[in-house]
């Protein structure tokens, strides 16, 4: 073994590997073990007092559930609507807040503020704002003679209303990421383009948009995962209702758990895990490959 | 799996992520006997308006009578979250020495034979009416002592509105709808029938409170349902769903039905802005609290069947006091004393009457209803005296689907038809029956 190699292994061993132990122990106890155990319990009928192995029956049951199909399509709609809106709005706000603007710092804080508020708090606040008869939103619409829809109580509107609240809450993060991405683009490109007489539109289309792709990737991944796993906001505003009309996979699983179907709800979590992986892995691969190609 | 299960038992370890906080908290709390030779037990009640004050009054009186026992009060949340907390506490051996919980189907889901202490040998048990013993018993034992009163499910109505429009209490469904139309025609500002899907559970009442009418037509229906033979998708039980659909389409319901909450509906009823509200009389304390002057304006009638001969009030039994298996030795003795005191001593009954609002009839023969009860309670009592009552389904069968609230919201809102809703509920109940390991499903 050469001296160089030995010194490298010494460098690697500079921190004893047991420094990892606290993190590994916590990870194993609170993440790895429950995850593995949950794979087993998803194959059982579990009452918390005892359990009986029933093979794949829970999965069969889960996919026959009338709520699930609705919950599944709703989840996909919700994830894509919120992701798309966060990209478009986040990008626009990011551009606006990186330009020279009076009160830029203040506006950045304002856009980011909803991110800091508790989701349940936001849900309950909007539930009262959007109340069809006593809410301030419909009060304002009524005052100027516009129709007053049942934002959270109309089965056709409920899901989209919650998605809109989600966008209001989450666009601050997307904006922040875009601001960082846009600021990181070297100023020389813009100068060169301006010297060549490029229009603002051309600069955006040919420089800002392609060079902020890492930011876009991050926003897409984060909001897609967030959208697929969405639960808290929906639970606080509509509880999946009216009926099943705004149920998502997360709320369907929680309802199974509430009902005491512990095996079934664990199976639902396994399904959710697989669905999120199935959506996010390809998206991640595609977006990252393009980044390398660039 | 034995290893995993014993770990779960040992310290509520990783039970499920959602309840881990509660389980760990329970782990941390010490349940050592109090100092100075006193025995300390704890008493778990549901965190509901008024329940805590009543429980504390019982504890104060009990501690005075038994200076060597200390009782600590503990609460758990109402609804499905509470059900899970109770199950988690039992399965981890962390349950309070005495706890108050539903009788009937929810009680049976606790696996009483493995989890609870048999109380059939207690002195008070012999005097309990059979109708109550049944709902806190399995084949192997009797586990619960009654706390509180049974209540009636049907329609709460505003008697002032009825008097003013000279309406009489309907005994058939068509009379009920006709009354609604008369109210609508005469007083457009008064909602004929209140619905409050802002609290989805209230949507179940028109179906649950119709069950006595089903029993009247087919006395063995509940057994057939448990065995997987009788279905809501077929007559006579189907009627409840089709009536709900009809009600939703009748134009007699308040416009803000989708967002109105139960408390708002009770207030509207008491204020005379609504005339009728399908509900259970256990909600009367809310009216007594929010609209004390209107208590005697409220009356009760059974949810009408198609045929007047079948119109019967549905009765809900009160929850019980239970002692878990994990209570042993001195604590078990103290817990038994406390249960007997609260449920079946004259002093305990007096405190129940003083701190609670009457909602129906006491179950324990020791407890006597005061004479100055509200009109709705008198109406419920009349059905009981006439024998025009039958228990709610959850006291006759352990099969209760968990999604009845969402399904009835869909039917009442016109998202699905009554027949579709009934079919969905049959499927929903199947999952519960399978979870309980019943045959025939």
- Whether the CB-CB separation of B193 and B278 falls below 8 Å is answered with yes
Q: Select the residue from B241, B261, B431 to test the A interface by mutation, using most A Cβ atoms within 10 A.
A: B431
- The CATH number for A256's domain is 1.10.3720.10
Question: Is a pLDDT exceeding 90 seen at residue B434?
Answer: no
pLDDT the model gives residue A243? 85
Answer yes or no: is A21 within a domain: no
Per DSSP, B142 falls in state: B
Domain of A232, in residue numbers: 58-109+175-293
Task: Say which of A45, A241, A264 has its CB closest to residue B200.
Answer: A241
Spell out the domains of chain B, with CATH numbers in brackets. Answer: 30-143+319-362 (3.40.190.10), 151-316+375-435 (3.40.190.10)
pLDDT in tens, B20-63: 344 344 444 444 444 567 899 999 999 877 788 899 999 999 99
| Selected residues 113-132 of chain A with any CB under 8 Å from a CB in chain B | 131-132
Q: Is residue A287 part of a domain?
A: yes
pLDDT at B372: 86
For testing the chain A interface, which of B20, B92, B406 should be mutated: the one with the most A CBs within 10 Å? B406
B347–chain A nearest CA distance, Å: 37
Instruction: Write down the pLDDT at residue B80.
Output: 81
Q: Do A40 and B1 touch (CB under 8 A)?
A: yes
Query: pLDDT (tens digit, 9 = 90+) per residue, B58-95?
Result: 999 999 999 999 999 999 998 888 888 999 999 999 99
Percent of chain B predicted with pLDDT > 90? 78
The residue among A291, A117, A112 whose CA lies nearest residue A211 is A291
Q: Please give the average per-residue pLDDT across B177-204, as a whole number.
A: 95
Average pLDDT over residues B270-286: 95
Radius of gyration of chain B (CA): 22
The per-residue pLDDT for B16 is: 38
Subunit contact B80:A258, Cβ cutoff 8 A: yes
Asked whether the whole model's pTM tops 0.95, one would answer no
The shortest C-alpha distance from B259 to chain A (Å) reads 7
- What average pLDDT does the segment B183-206 reach? 95
Interface test with B, best of A59, A260, A262 (most B CBs within 10 A): A260
Write down the ipTM of this complex.
0.77
Helix (H/G/I), strand (E/B), else coil: B89: helix
* Domain presence at residue A209: yes
**Domains in chain A: how many in total?**
1
Contact status, residue A175 vs residue A112, Cβ threshold 8 Å: yes
Q: Measured between CA atoms, how close is A94 to chain B, in angstroms? A: 37
Higher pLDDT, B188 or A260: B188
Question: Do B93 and B70 contact (CB within 8 A), yes or no?
Answer: no
The alpha carbon of residue B81 is apart from the nearest alpha carbon of chain A, in Å, by: 6
Q: Name which of A30, A34, A61 is nearest B431 (Cβ-Cβ).
A: A61
Q: Are the Cβ atoms of B109 and A260 closer than 8 angstroms?
A: yes
Q: Please state, for a pLDDT cut of 70, what percent of chain B lies above it.
A: 92
Average pLDDT of the segment spanning B388-414? 93
Q: Which residue in chain A is spatially nearest to B436 when comparing CA positions?
A: A47
Q: A residues 78-97 near B, CB within 8 Å?
A: none
pLDDT digit string (tens) for B131-144?
Answer: 899 999 999 999 99
A224 found inside a domain: yes
Strands, sheet with B320-322, edge to edge from the N-terminal-most edge strand:
B69-76, B39-46, B98-101, B320-322, B145-146
Which pLDDT score, from 0 to 100, does residue A4 have?
53
A45–B402 C-beta distance less than 8 A: no
Calpha distance A44→A52 (Å, rounded): 5
pLDDT at B363 > cutoff 60? yes
Q: For residue A104, is pLDDT > 80? A: yes
**Mean of the pLDDT values across residues A167-185?**
94
Q: Looking at the predicted structure, is the pLDDT value of residue A291 above 70? A: no
| Nearest chain B alpha carbon to A127 | B259
Q: What is the pLDDT of residue B53?
A: 87
Position A283 in a domain: yes
């Amino acid at each position: 073994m050469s001296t160089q190699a030995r010194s490298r292994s010494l460098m690697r061993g500079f921190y004893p590997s047991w420094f990892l132990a606290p993190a590994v122990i916590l990870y194993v106890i609170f993440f790895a073990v429950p995850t593995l155990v949950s794979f087993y319990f998803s194959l059982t009928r579990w009452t918390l007092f005892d359990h009986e192995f029933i093979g794949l029956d829970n999965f069969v049951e889960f996919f026959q559930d009338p709520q699930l199909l609705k919950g599944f399509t709703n989840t996909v709609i919700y994830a894509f609507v919120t992701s798309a809106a966060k990209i478009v709005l986040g990008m626009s706000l990011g551009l606006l807040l990186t330009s020279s603007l009076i009160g830029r710092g203040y506006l950045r804080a304002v856009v980011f503020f909803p991110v800091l508020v508790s989701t349940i708090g936001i849900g309950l606040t909007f539930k009262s704002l959007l109340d069809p008869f006593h809410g301030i939103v419909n009060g304002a619409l009524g005052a100027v003679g516009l129709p007053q829809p049942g934002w959270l109580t109309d089965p056709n509107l409920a899901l989209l209303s919650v998605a809109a609240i989600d966008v209001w809450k989450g666009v601050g993060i997307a904006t922040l990421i875009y601001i960082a991405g846009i600021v990181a683009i070297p100023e020389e490109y813009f100068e060169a383009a301006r010297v060549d007489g490029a229009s603002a539109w051309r600069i955006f289309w040919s420089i800002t948009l392609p060079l902020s792709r890492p930011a876009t990737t991050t926003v897409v991944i984060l909001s897609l995962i967030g959208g697929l796993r969405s639960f808290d906001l929906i639970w606080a505003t509509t509880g999946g209702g009216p009926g099943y009309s705004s149920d998502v996979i997360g709320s369907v699983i929680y309802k199974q758990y509430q009902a005491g179907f512990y095996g079934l709800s664990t199976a639902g979590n396994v399904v959710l895990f697989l669905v999120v992986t199935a959506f996010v892995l390809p998206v991640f691969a595609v977006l990252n490959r393009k980044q390398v190609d660039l | 799996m034995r290893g995993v299960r014993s770990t779960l038992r040992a310290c509520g370890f990783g039970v499920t992520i959602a309840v881990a906080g509660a389980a760990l908290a329970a782990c941390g709390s010490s349940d050592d006997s109090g100092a100075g030779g006193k025995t300390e037990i704890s008493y778990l009640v549901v965190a509901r308006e008024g329940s805590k004050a009543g429980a504390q009054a019982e504890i104060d009186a009990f501690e005075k009578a038994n200076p060597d026992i200390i009782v600590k009060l503990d609460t758990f949340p109402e609804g499905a979250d509470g059900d899970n907390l109770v199950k988690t506490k039992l399965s981890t051996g962390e349950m309070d020495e005495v706890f108050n919980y539903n009788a009937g189907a929810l009680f049976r889901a606790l696996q009483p034979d493995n989890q609870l202490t048999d109380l059939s040998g207690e002195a008070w048990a012999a005097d309990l009416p059979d109708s109550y013993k049944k709902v806190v018993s399995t084949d192997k034992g009797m586990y619960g002592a009654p706390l509180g009163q049974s209540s009636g499910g049907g329609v709460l109505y505003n008697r002032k509105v009825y008097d003013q429009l000279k309406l009489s209490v309907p005994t058939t469904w068509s009379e009920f709808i006709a009354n609604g139309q008369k109210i609508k025609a005469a007083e457009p500002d008064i909602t004929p029938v209140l619905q409050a899907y802002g609290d989805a559970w209230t949507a179940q009442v028109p179906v649950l409170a119709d069950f006595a009418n089903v029993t009247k037509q087919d006395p063995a229906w509940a057994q057939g349902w448990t065995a997987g033979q009788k279905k809501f998708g077929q007559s006579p039980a189907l009627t409840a769903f089709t009536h709900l659909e009809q009600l939703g389409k009748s134009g007699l319901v308040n416009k803000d039905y989708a967002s109105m909450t139960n408390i708002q509906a009770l207030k509207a009823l008491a204020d005379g802005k609504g005339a009728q509200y399908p509900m259970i009389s256990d909600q009367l304390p809310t009216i007594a609290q929010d609209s004390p002057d209107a208590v005697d304006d409220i009356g009760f009638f059974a949810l009408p069947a198609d045929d007047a001969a079948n119109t019967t009030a549905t009765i809900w039994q009160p929850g019980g006091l239970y002692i878990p298996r994990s209570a042993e030795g001195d604590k078990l003795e103290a817990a038994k004393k406390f249960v007997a005191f609260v449920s079946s001593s004259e002093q305990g009954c007096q405190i129940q009457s003083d701190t609670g609002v009457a909602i129906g009839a006491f179950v324990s023969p020791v407890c006597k209803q005061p004479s100055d009860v509200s009109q709705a309670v008198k109406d419920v009592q009349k059905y009981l005296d006439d024998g025009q009552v039958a228990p709610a389904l959850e006291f006759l069968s352990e099969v209760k689907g968990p999604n009845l609230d969402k399904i009835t919201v869909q039917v009442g809102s016109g998202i699905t038809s009554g027949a579709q809703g009934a079919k969905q509920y049959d499927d929903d109940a199947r999952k519960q029956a399978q979870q309980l390991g019943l045959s025939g499903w």
